[in-house]
Amino acid sequence: MSLIPEGLRYTTEHEYLRESDESDIYYVGITDYAQGELGDVVYVELPEPGDSFAPMDVFGTIEAVKAVSDLYCPVAGEVVDVNAALDDDPELVNSDPYGEGWMIQLRLEDPGEVETLMDAASYGAHIGE
Amino acid sequence: MSTFPDASRGGAAAAGDGPGRLNWRVLLDGGLPGATNMARDHALALGVRPGEGTVRFYRWATATLSFGRNEPVTAGYRDLLRRHPEMEAVRRPTGGRAVIHDRELTYCVVLPARAFGGLRLAYRRINQGLLRGLRRLGVDAGGAAGSTAAPDAGPCFLEPAEGEVVVRGRKLVGSAQARIGGAILQHGSLLLVADQSALFAKADAHGAAGNGAEPGRDRGIASAPAPTGNRRGSGTTVAANRTGPPITLAEILGEVPPWEDMVDAFRRGFAEEFGGLWAPGEMTREEMAMVARLERKYGSGEWTWRR
């Protein structure tokens, strides 16, 4: 069973949105299920702070030993920070996907958009768990 | 040691159960330029439709060095290409490491991302289909135990990843995968004929040696450093993990079977493993329009030399 924390929001493409201390800034990463599917992550390509994305825009890529996957921006927003730790330790995505394995911090254009994403129960149903 | 269940336990009836039952289209292509081959595979992924999958078999117009999507182009690769000006270079949409495509059978499988239950299960099923196809050709192959060593731990075809097709512990098929939108794309190379020792020597020297091997004989798999500056630490050395040089179909069988026989064997192997309905097909007009657009991407220096 994959870890699906309550209180986060999820996309069909297996990204999550987690609140930060600032109301309009959220952490974005991939779910425990997604990292398990990919296997050992060896590389994460992330955007630059200041880049803006629309919902479902590709904001980066993640590569495991054999598989590559695009990363999709859950909602519209501007990147305010990226997780530089993944440069040296991309396996943080495997070991702590919802914590130290976060990828970008996104300032949301419209925080209300969060409600359009799946909650933990819906995401669990989406992945069949 | 195989990490997969024995093929005999996963018969066609079982394979056809559940959400994985699709209608399959088989595409056959002759030798095409690298950019076209990558554009076609990518377009198939972009055009995937629920309930439908595609298997494509193809060749290459000329020897082509392909890089993994995020793989840095090292000085060794540039040196290799300088020494073999007839060789093309292209960057794949999939992960993994560099491959020289020449005398090989290349396969591509595209299916809806969840049809087989996700990336890992799809990887297993596709490799299982390859094993079934090989058995039809009289080849007793298995899935590699593999390791999770960093991908820069040695040449691609010296270091089978978990589940990759090996014979006598030596890699016969190298595969790579991508999730593109709602599709899984997996493609790979089955070595037919190769004399790769010279290339491996170069690879061991990070591609720097180059000993004057004739281009026509240089039918191997290049060294393949992982994306750098952002990767797992290398926990295993090449020497410690090396399973021997890659093996070829010619070495196993004493000859290369006719192309049509090989394609038929793998088509049947996949059909047996995947179940569903199978029919020959063509790319749709929409897919060909995407190919035209994607050929520009895969033929561009901006993409090929992006890292």
What are the C-alpha distances in Å from B256 to residues B32, B89, B105, B259?
21, 26, 11, 8
Give CA–CA dist B67/A88, Å, rounded. 22
What are the domain boundaries of chain A?
Answer: 9-110
* B95, B161, B229 member nearest A63 (Cβ): B95
pLDDT greater at residue A103 or residue B218: A103
Interface test with A, best of B91, B232, B234 (most A CBs within 10 A): B232
Q: Which B-chain residues 18-77 have CB contacts (< 8 A) with chain A? A: 68-70
Q: What is the DSSP string of chain B?
A: --SSPPGGGS-HHHHTSGGG--EEEEEEEEEE-HHHHHHHHHHHHHT--TTEEEEEEEEESS-EEEE-TT----HHHHHHHHH-TT-EEEE-SS-S--EEESSEEEEEEEEETTTTTSHHHHHHHHHHHHHHHHHHTT---EE-------TTSS-GGGSPPTT-EEETTEE-EEEEEEEETTEEEEEEEEE-S---HHHHHHHHTTT-------GGG--S----PPPSSSS----S-HHHH---S---HHHHHSSPPPHHHHHHHHHHHHHHHH-SEEEE----HHHHHHHHHHHHHHT-HHHHT--
Whether A90 and B231 have beta carbons less than 8 Å apart is answered as: yes
Residue A4: count of CB within 10 angstroms of its CB? 22
All residues of chain B having their beta carbon less than 8 Å from the beta carbon of residue A44 are 230
Give CA–CA dist B166/B173, Å, rounded. 7
Q: Which B-chain residues 131-150 have CB contacts (< 8 A) with chain A? A: 148, 150
In 3D space, the residue among B96, B37, B36 whose CA is nearest the CA of residue B71 turns out to be: B96
- Please give the distance of CA B307 from its chain centroid, rounded to a whole number: 21
pLDDT over 90 at B22, yes or no: yes
Distance from CA of A17 to the nearest CA of B (A): 19
pLDDT value at position B243? 59
pLDDT value at position B32? 97
In this prediction the pTM is 0.79
pLDDT greater at residue B11 or residue B122: B122
Mean pLDDT check: name the lowest of A84-93, B239-248, B249-258, B264-273: B239-248
Token pair recorded at residue A22:
């600032």
pLDDT band at B62 (very low <50, low <70, confident <90, very high): very high
Name the burial class of residue B10, with classes exposed (0-12), middle (13-18) and buried (19+) by CB atoms within 10 angstroms of its CB: middle
pLDDT greater at residue B97 or residue B12: B97
pLDDT band at B107 (very low <50, low <70, confident <90, very high): very high
Mean pLDDT check: name the lowest of B51-55, B97-101, B105-109: B97-101
All residues of chain A having their beta carbon less than 8 Å from the beta carbon of residue B68 are 63, 68
Token pair recorded at residue B82:
């300088």
Hey, which residues does A69 pair with through a beta bridge? A62, B179
Give CA–CA dist B126/B131, Å, rounded. 9
Answer whether A91 touches B (CB < 8 Å).
Answer: yes
Whether A79 and A105 have beta carbons less than 8 Å apart is answered as: yes
All residues of chain A having their beta carbon less than 8 Å from the beta carbon of residue B227 are 42-43, 63
Homologous superfamily in CATH for domain B22-304: Bira Bifunctional Protein; Domain 2 (3.30.930.10)
Interface contact flag, A43 B231, Cβ < 8 Å: yes
Interface test with A, best of B70, B114, B230, B307 (most A CBs within 10 A): B230
Mean pLDDT of B124-143: 93
**What is the percent of chain A where pLDDT is above 90?**
83
pLDDT value at position B76? 84
pLDDT greater at residue B160 or residue A45: A45
Residues making up chain B, counted from first to last: 307
Mean pLDDT of B181-200: 78
Q: Which A-chain residues 29-88 have CB contacts (< 8 A) with chain B? A: 36-45, 61, 63-70, 86-88
Give CA–CA dist B230/A43, Å, rounded. 5
pLDDT over 60 at B234, yes or no: no
Enter the ipTM.
0.77
Mean pLDDT check: name the lowest of B53-57, B71-75, B241-245: B241-245
Token pair recorded at residue A83:
């997780």
- Beta-carbon contacts below 8 Å between A and B: 78
pLDDT greater at residue B32 or residue B84: B32
Distance from CA of B43 to the nearest CA of A (A): 15
SS3 A53: strand
pLDDT value at position B146? 61
Give CA–CA dist A90/A83, Å, rounded. 10
B108 is catalytic: no
**What is the percent of chain B where pLDDT is above 90?**
51
What are the C-alpha distances in Å from B15 to residues B19, B274, B277?
10, 5, 12
pLDDT band at B97 (very low <50, low <70, confident <90, very high): confident
What's the start-to-end Cα distance of chain A, in Å?
7
All residues of chain B having their beta carbon less than 8 Å from the beta carbon of residue A90 are 230-232
What are the domain boundaries of chain B?
Answer: 22-304
DSSP A118: B
In 3D space, the residue among B93, B71, B64 whose CA is nearest the CA of residue B291 turns out to be: B93
- Catalytic one among B156, B166, B194, B265? B156
Mean pLDDT of A97-116: 95
Chain B: residue nearest A83 by CA?
A: B230
Interface contact flag, A66 B230, Cβ < 8 Å: no
We find that the CATH architecture of domain A9-110 is Beta Barrel (2.40)
> Sign of torsion, CA A116 A93 B123 B193?
positive
> Sign of torsion, CA B254 B258 B264 B266?
positive
